[in-house]
Amino acid sequence: MTPLLALSPLILVCATAIVVMLTIAWRRHHDLTATLTVIGLNLALVAQILVWWLAPLDVTPLMRVDGLSIFGGVLILVATLACATLGHAYLEGARGPREEYYLLLLCAAAGGIALVSSRHLASLFFSLELLSMPLYGMLAYTYRERGALEAGVKYMVLSAAASAFLLFGMALLYARTGHLDFAGLGGALASAGGDGWLLAGMGLMVVGLGFKLSIVPFHLWTPDVYEGSPAPAATFLASASKVAVLVVLLRLLQSAPAAQDAWLHSLLAVLAFVTMLAGNLLALMQQDLKRLLGYSSIAHFGYLLVALVINEGLAVETAGLYLVTYVLTTLGAFGVVTLLSSPYGGADASRLHHYRGLFWRRPYLTAVLTVMMLSLAGIPLTAGFIGKFYIVAVGVEASRWWLVGAVVAGSAIGLYYYLRVMVTLFLPEPGMQRRDATTDWAQRAGGVVVLALAALVVLLGVYPAPMIEWVRLMAAT
Amino acid sequence: MILVWLILIPFIGGLLCWQAERFGEQSPRWIALGTMLLELALVLGVWWHGDYGLNAAQGASDWALEWRADWIPRFGIEVHLALDGLSLIMIALTGLLGVLAVVCSWHEISRRIGFFHLNLLWILGGVVGVFLAIDLFLFFFFWEMMLVPMYFLIALWGHSGSTGNTRIQAATKFFIYTQASGLLMLVAILGLVFAHHAATGEYSFSYEALRHTAQNELSPQMAWWLMLGFFVAFAVKMPVVPLHGWLPDAHAQAPTAGSVDLAGILLKTAAYGMLRFALPLFPEASQAFAPIAMGLGVLGIFYGAILACGQHDLKRLVAYSSISHMGFVLIGIYSSTELALQGVVILMVAHAFSASGLFIISGQLYERLHTRDMRLMGGLWGRIKGLPGIALCFVAASMGLPGTANFVGEFLVLFGSFDAWPWVVVVASGGFVLAAIYSLFIMQRVYFGPAKEETPLGGLDGRETVMMLGLLVLVLWVGLYPGPLLDTSQAAMQNVEHIMTLEETPAMPEETP
């Protein structure tokens, strides 16, 4: 009974997905579907928090419920909740079926929750696919838009290729060690030393996971997919999906000491270095906010990789904390884009000129986006500052001066484009305001979500102690 | 608790201003003015009641007022505020210039008044925080935080430049320069914290604890690099010459209130940071660095003055003259004798008065002529009542005429440095000649010569007269009777000198839990 209880969040999400499916079959009703989804996700979130009293617990050889998985699960569920709420606002104007979006969202969330608790390559693979498959559909959900269709297809093809790399890597590891579970794999890797096949296997897995995290040079899909896909789907891709993959990579690196192999280690360090700089440099001249956020997320995962590369001292805490700030900030930033593009009517309002002078029309919505931009740039009074502080701290602690230098340089470059977005919001209007949020946006659920996120980002920036304690507690088990 | 209120009042006032805009155009202005007057009154009250002249030279820092509370226990980060003579003078200056900034933008700013005052007051709040913070994390927090409202001030209410430079470019340049150098300081702070952690097993960002570590645990090479991290951050803000690129643009594009804040107090945070952190934390490395700093100071004096001579834009001229004046400040700081350090304090105050005065005058000329290009001025002496005479006084102050505050400051700096650095002083004194040249350029080009037109322009109204005369009285008062200022900062400056000259490291001050 206890193992089932420990998996109750996953079971609840899956059950919600089935209920939603049956409801759609019985009667199409947008509001009803959305409400059911949100109720189910909230129940799962409560369950995810309650599971803490059972952790740590191994559930079958495939899953492990511990601090890390609860941490990832909470973040994924929060992100999914936000995506469901934002999706409701967005899809109200959509033609054609709207209800299946929630079905796909729930399936992807289930994949994410399973992924963060995997401790076996088999469960890693199937939950990663469960996470990715619904995303193809979500990204191309507004398939009448050329961009959305392109985004969906592009993500599908490249994701399949990345899965192939991942499988090949797993196969190599299995062929050499005969283990598929992380712990056994770690032990075998440690005793085998620097065997070439094993390194190749690990390297191929890094390629596969690096694709999902859009690490340079596997990032090429990111800007196009972010730009073309409908905003709520892009939100999910940028937040929940990346959290899940990063958490499992963290678990993999922690349990497989071969990751500390000098060669693989320097490979990761180089990837982190290149990702930070390339992500920020490529974002400089973007004219599209979603595209810019895509490049910015590449840069942020470069910062996160720094924590993974160092993997000692404050590293796990740093990765966790940075993920929290990243998720909150990304949800907020995409949330504003979604609200401005809601209800759906043609391509999203994400060109920078759509945002010109927004402050004088929608001061509070602009304040939210400003806070998010400041947080992404890591300016004090926002949660992003605490994250940036941690990243620099972990680099200084390990005396990795090259990585610290890249973090500093990357942040300095990054300021330029975040400031560009920010100042655009406040510039005088040129008289072209084609797209705008509905006037009562703040009273709607989506508006409440972004306002709450902004408040949270500021609150955690000023008083981060509870967040730090929570992350430490989760990282400790 | 009064220290917390000193920081909170501008922030709360700013929010009130923002919301007050809906009650009419005037209400944000009055609220902002009231906030800054309240702030100023509080500081003066603290000054009146405290005693800052005593408790000198005991090695450890003695704070007149202190307030601390836990903030992020994970890293031993506290909200730790403390006040001594130096910070008191700086905060009083902030309050005063805050009042001036509000008053001088009374007519200049006519759009989005509430949001303007929100930014203005938040800058001042951040600056007060910088002057009070003693926990290094908190210091960094305020140091970075005050950039954001300044960015908005320049980007949204600035003037587009004459040479095709837009205000947004200037604001972005300012922000990136200061933020990137700030991150270097963060790296240096963290380096110090982890050295402390390695030595004691505890995380702490506290000034005393880190000072102890910096002086006892660091290898000289490490101390050198960390010192450099602090120095670069402060040098950008000050600005020291190779890192000054943002200043002329930022000044030229900023609204008058922005220039007043920028020249009057933001630049002073850098000098304050050097006096409070860079020197006391790394006395030996700083001493080793002093020759380079002196060289940079002299370079700045001449570079700023020579470039000032060639400017056509009045505000750019004043901006370059600021660089020149800050060269003297740098020399004074790194010569580290009590006399020179006292001179630095006076010079900072004096420069804040004279530069703000000149920037306000540029703003007033701009309101009347709609240009700041000196080639389009000339012959204004007869056309504006009152302003030229006042301008003459401020120009005289800027060139350091005896009787003005600037003279006292520069004299003390050079006098105090002469023993140890005679050649530097001799060369730096040459800067006065150039100062006289560019100061006379201002008078000659703007007020004398043939008039372009004969129509008289509006004279100073009551608000402007009171503001300018008040500032002028202060310039003369500090120039003729600098005693109270010197007494207030003496203990703090003796402390710095003490730390810099003491060979053996001071004992670890007892930690208060």
**What are the angstrom distances between the C-alpha of A183 and each of A72, A186, A197, A261, B145?**
20, 5, 19, 17, 45
- With beta carbons less than 8 A apart as the criterion, state whether B105 and B114 touch: no
A149 Cβ under 8 Å from any chain B Cβ: no
For range A147-152, the mean pLDDT = 90
Q: Closest Cα of chain A to B402: distance in Å? A: 43
Cβ contact B72–A464 (<8 Å):
yes
Cβ contact B187–A423 (<8 Å):
no
Residue A344 has pLDDT above 90, yes or no: no
Amino acid at B143: W
Q: Which residue in the set A426, A427, A468 is minimally distant from B74, CB to CB?
A: A468
Q: Can you give B15-61 as a three-state secondary structure string? A: HHHHHHHHHCCHHHHHHHHHHHHHHHHHHHHHHHHCCCCCCCCCCCC
Cβ contact A423–B168 (<8 Å):
yes
B151 Cβ under 8 Å from any chain A Cβ: yes
pLDDT at B374: 83
CA geometry: angle at B149 spanning B305 and A414, to 5°? 90
Q: Closest Cα of chain A to B355: distance in Å? A: 28
Residue B148 has pLDDT above 70, yes or no: yes
B144 Cβ under 8 Å from any chain A Cβ: yes
The DSSP call for residue B108 is: T
Could you identify the residue written with the tokens 């007269």? B465
| ipTM of this complex | 0.89
**What are the angstrom distances between the C-alpha of A259 and each of A149, A158, A170?**
38, 25, 14
Residue A419 has pLDDT above 50, yes or no: yes
For range A174-193, the mean pLDDT = 83
B4 Cβ under 8 Å from any chain A Cβ: no
Residues from chain A that touch B171, judged by Cβ atoms under 8 A, are: 419, 423
Task: Burial-class residue A325 by CB neighbours within 10 Å (0-12, 13-18, 19+).
Answer: buried
B71 Cβ under 8 Å from any chain A Cβ: yes
pLDDT at B507: 44
Handedness of CA A199, A204, A207, A210 (dihedral sign): negative
Q: Which helix (H) or strand (E) holds A437?
A: none
Backbone angles phi, psi at B78, to 5 degrees: -125, 155
**R_g of chain B computed on alpha carbons:** 22
For range A139-144, the mean pLDDT = 88
Cβ contact A379–B147 (<8 Å):
yes
pLDDT at B53: 59
Query: Six-digit token pair at B256?
Result: 């008058």
Q: Which residue in the set B112, B137, B172 is minimally distant from A416, CB to CB?
A: B172
Query: Six-digit token pair at A167?
Result: 């499988």
DSSP sequence for B174-221:
HHHHHHHHHHHHHHHHHHHHHHHHHHHS----BHHHHHHHHHHT--HH
Amino acid at A416: Y
- With beta carbons less than 8 A apart as the criterion, state whether B151 and B169 touch: no
Widest pairwise Cα distance in chain A: 68
pLDDT at A435: 60
B190 Cβ under 8 Å from any chain A Cβ: yes
More confident residue, A267 or A344: A267
Please name which of A318, A361, B174, B248 lies closest in space to residue A369, comparing C-alpha atoms.
A361
Beta bridge partners of B72: B77
* H helix count then E strand count, chain B: 21, 2
For range A280-302, the mean pLDDT = 92
Residue A40 — very low, low, confident or very high, per pLDDT cuts 50/70/90? very high
Residue B508 has pLDDT above 80, yes or no: no
Q: Which residue in the set A392, A408, A465 is minimally distant from B72, CB to CB?
A: A465
Quick count: other Cβ atoms within 10 Å of Cβ A53? 8
Question: In whole numbers, what is the pLDDT of chain B averaged over residues?
Answer: 87
Residue B505 — very low, low, confident or very high, per pLDDT cuts 50/70/90? very low
Q: Closest Cα of chain A to B140: distance in Å? A: 9
Please name which of B32, B25, B41 lies closest in space to residue B10, comparing C-alpha atoms.
B32
Residues from chain B that touch A385, judged by Cβ atoms under 8 A, are: 141, 144
Residues from chain A that touch B187, judged by Cβ atoms under 8 A, are: 392, 396, 404, 408
Backbone angles phi, psi at B267, to 5 degrees: -65, -30
A389 Cβ under 8 Å from any chain B Cβ: yes
Beta bridge partners of A385: none
Say which range, A145-149, B120-124, B497-501, has the weakest mean pLDDT: B497-501
Domain boundaries in chain A? 2-476
B284 Cβ under 8 Å from any chain A Cβ: no
Please name which of B412, B409, B428 lies closest in space to residue B353, comparing C-alpha atoms.
B409
Residue B57 — very low, low, confident or very high, per pLDDT cuts 50/70/90? very low
B245 Cβ under 8 Å from any chain A Cβ: no
Domain boundaries in chain B? 2-501
Cβ contact B142–A404 (<8 Å):
no
DSSP sequence for A160-195:
HHHHHHHHHHHHHHHHHH---BHHHHHHHHHHH-S-
A281 Cβ under 8 Å from any chain B Cβ: no
Q: Is A29 left (phi over 0), alpha (psi -120 to 50) or beta?
A: beta
Residue B159 has pLDDT above 90, yes or no: no
Secondary-structure breakdown of chain B: helix, strand, coil percentages, each rounded to the nearest 5 = 75, 5, 20
pLDDT at A439: 67
Amino acid at B474: L
Residue A98 — very low, low, confident or very high, per pLDDT cuts 50/70/90? confident
Backbone angles phi, psi at B65, to 5 degrees: -140, 145
- Angle between helix A100-116 and helix A8-26 axes, rounded to 10 deg: 170
Residue A162 has pLDDT above 50, yes or no: yes
B212 vs B147: CA distance, rounded Å: 30
Number of CB pairs, chain A paired with chain B, less than 8 A apart: 78
Q: Nearest residue of A to residue B222 by CA position?
A: A399
Q: Nearest residue of B to residue A423 by CA position?
A: B155
Please name which of B316, B330, B396 lies closest in space to residue B362, comparing C-alpha atoms.
B316
- With beta carbons less than 8 A apart as the criterion, state whether A197 and A209 touch: no
Cβ contact A396–B187 (<8 Å):
yes
- The 3-state DSSP class for residue B366 equals helix
Residue B459 has pLDDT above 80, yes or no: no
- For an interface test with A, the pick among B19, B79, B175 (most A C-beta atoms closer than 10 Å) comes out as B175
Cβ contact A392–B74 (<8 Å):
no
Residue A94 has pLDDT above 90, yes or no: no
A458 Cβ under 8 Å from any chain B Cβ: no
pLDDT at A429: 65
A415 Cβ under 8 Å from any chain B Cβ: yes
B191 Cβ under 8 Å from any chain A Cβ: yes
Amino acid at B169: Q
- For an interface test with B, the pick among A321, A388, A423 (most B C-beta atoms closer than 10 Å) comes out as A423
| Residues constituting chain B | 513
Please name which of A197, A189, A205 lies closest in space to residue A172, comparing C-alpha atoms.
A197
Cβ contact A411–B184 (<8 Å):
no
Cβ contact B171–A423 (<8 Å):
yes
B160 Cβ under 8 Å from any chain A Cβ: no
Q: Closest Cα of chain A to B182: distance in Å? A: 9
Cβ contact A412–B172 (<8 Å):
no
Cβ contact B148–A468 (<8 Å):
no
B277 vs B238: CA distance, rounded Å: 14
Q: Closest Cα of chain A to B323: distance in Å? A: 24
Could you identify the residue written with the tokens 């939210």? A368
A381 Cβ under 8 Å from any chain B Cβ: yes
pLDDT, tens digit, 9 for 90 and up, residues B395-446: 999 888 888 999 999 999 999 999 888 999 999 998 888 999 998 888 888 8
- The 3-state DSSP class for residue B82 equals strand
Residue B61 — very low, low, confident or very high, per pLDDT cuts 50/70/90? low
Please name which of A219, A305, A298, A249 lies closest in space to residue A115, comparing C-alpha atoms.
A249
Residues from chain A that touch B186, judged by Cβ atoms under 8 A, are: 389, 392
CA geometry: angle at B39 spanning B38 and B43, to 5°? 115
B180 Cβ under 8 Å from any chain A Cβ: yes
Q: Nearest residue of A to residue B140 by CA position?
A: A380
pLDDT, tens digit, 9 for 90 and up, residues B3-39: 899 999 999 999 999 888 888 888 899 999 999 999 9
pLDDT at B107: 82
Residues from chain B that touch A420, judged by Cβ atoms under 8 A, are: 172
B194 Cβ under 8 Å from any chain A Cβ: yes
Q: Closest Cα of chain B to A380: distance in Å? A: 5
Backbone angles phi, psi at A312, to 5 degrees: -150, 170
**What are the angstrom distances between the C-alpha of A3 and each of A11, A57, A59, A60, A77?**
11, 8, 5, 8, 20
Query: Six-digit token pair at A367?
Result: 């304040």
- CB within 8 Å of A462: residues ≥ 6 apart: A381
Amino acid at A455: A
Provide the percentage of residues in chain B whose pLDDT is more than 90: 39
Q: Closest Cα of chain A to B2: distance in Å? A: 20
Backbone angles phi, psi at B180, to 5 degrees: -65, -40
Cβ contact B187–A472 (<8 Å):
no
Cβ contact B194–A397 (<8 Å):
yes
Query: Six-digit token pair at B158?
Result: 């600035």
Question: In whole numbers, what is the pLDDT of chain A averaged over residues?
Answer: 89
A392 vs A351: CA distance, rounded Å: 32
A164 vs A168: CA distance, rounded Å: 6
Residue A266 has pLDDT above 60, yes or no: yes
A423 Cβ under 8 Å from any chain B Cβ: yes
pLDDT at B56: 47
Amino acid at B395: V
Q: Which helix (H) or strand (E) holds A59?
A: strand A57-59
